[in-house]
């Protein structure tokens, strides 16, 4: 891992655990070559293992500019109410890329970030759409920080509000363990394993080797983030690093630092998308999956539980843990959706919830 600077994908390739490294769009292209193109569905020829009905994104069919929303914490998997699902958003971008009627894509970002893996899945699809000749314009809302900026890097043009919180270019790793909490009530665990890497459990402290691997992957992720920003903003890695390291900027300062192209609102983003796509009369096609009644009910139950549970537990928690909880109180989705497979997060811890 040290030899590949913490790049787990390159490590897997070098050790012949995988055959090729590539994006989801590249994988789709290979599948189309192998199985043929289903022109009706703009996909490779296949049958779902689950069922024969496909839920299409809910959007207007007559527009020429796609509007895709990224509002909330970015998580791996499907979208849930109030959060951005990496798979859901990537699929929406893919649909827009393959739709001949869509001439440009506007990504409306209002997010403090989240999972690095999910952010990269979204970024890859936007990059594929841009490579396919469809201009990408990012419209930043109240917040487009960390992972929210990560997914903005493929844009041809970025429009932010003067008060937008953006930047926060940096990542961190989180693996929750409970060994000290269990120790206070006299509960201990033990066991045997073939190697320190095989003995990772939430009831024990992380082995030194796992901590070293985490540090390598975090540093690799940060360098990748800086590299993406440098390439997209036509800067050197050193120039980006000077304004990165987790620093949060307002839209005005971000414009001065070259992180965004213009200050304005959503209408300005629409106008720019029309100009780049050479569309005389922009018509918006909104890509939005409507939450089901069950989704909304479950979200309300979870919100109620989160509101009650912390107060009930505070008397049992040590002071340092209380400090952490208070610092994270306004970070929606962070504790509830720590589902990055590599435990890496590009999340703005200083932004709070801005709408």
Residues known to be catalytic: 146
Phi then psi for residue 254, to 5 deg, are -60, -40
Distant-in-sequence, close-in-space partners of 290: CB < 8 Å, separation ≥ 6 = 58
Q: How far apart are CA 305 and CA 204, in angstroms?
A: 27
At 287, is the secondary structure helix, strand, or coil?
A: strand
Q: How far apart are CA 199 and CA 188, in angstroms?
A: 15
Q: How far apart are CA 283 and CA 23, in angstroms?
A: 30
Listed residue (80, 62, 61) closest to 71, CA to CA: 80
Listed residue (353, 159, 197) closest to 275, CA to CA: 159
Task: Report whether 168 contacts 341 (CB < 8 A).
Answer: no
Around Cβ 205, how many Cβ atoms within 10 Å? 11
């Amino acid at each position: 891992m040290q030899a590949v600077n913490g790049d787990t994908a390159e490590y897997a390739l070098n050790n012949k655990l995988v055959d090729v490294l590539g994006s989801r769009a590249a994988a789709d292209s290979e599948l189309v070559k192998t199985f043929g193109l289903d022109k009706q569905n703009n996909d490779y020829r296949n049958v779902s293992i689950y069922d024969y009905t496909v839920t299409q994104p809910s959007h207007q069919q007559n527009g020429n500019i796609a509007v895709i929303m990224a509002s909330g914490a970015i998580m791996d998997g499907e979208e849930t109410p109030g959060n951005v699902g990496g798979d859901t958003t990537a699929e929406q971008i893919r649909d827009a890329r393959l739709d001949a009627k869509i001439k440009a894509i506007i990504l409306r970002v209002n997010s403090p970030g989240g999972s690095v893996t999910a952010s990269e899945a979204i970024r890859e699809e936007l990059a594929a759409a841009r490579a396919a000749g469809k201009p990408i314009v990012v419209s930043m809302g109240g917040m487009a920080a960390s992972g929210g900026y990560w997914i903005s890097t493929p844009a041809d043009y970025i429009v932010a509000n003067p008060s937008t919180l953006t930047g926060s270019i940096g990542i961190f790793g989180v693996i929750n363990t409970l060994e000290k909490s269990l120790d206070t009530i006299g509960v201990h665990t033990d066991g045997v394993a073939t190697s320190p890497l095989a003995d990772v459990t939430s009831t024990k402290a992380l082995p030194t080797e796992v901590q070293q691997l985490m540090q390598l992957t975090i540093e690799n992720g940060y360098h990748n983030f800086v590299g993406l920003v440098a390439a997209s903003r036509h800067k050197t890695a050193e120039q980006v690093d000077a304004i990165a390291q987790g620093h949060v900027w307002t839209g005005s300062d971000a414009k001065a630092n070259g992180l965004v192209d213009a200050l304005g609102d959503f209408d300005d983003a629409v106008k720019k998308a029309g100009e780049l796509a050479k569309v005389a009369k922009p018509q918006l096609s909104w890509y939005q999956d409507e939450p089901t009644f069950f989704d909304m009910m479950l979200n309300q139950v979870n919100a109620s539980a989160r509101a009650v549970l912390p107060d009930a537990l505070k008397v049992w928690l040590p002071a340092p843990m209380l400090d952490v909880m208070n610092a994270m109180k306004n970070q929606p989705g962070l504790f509830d959706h720590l589902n990055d497979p590599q435990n890496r997060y590009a999340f703005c811890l200083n932004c709070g919830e801005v709408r």
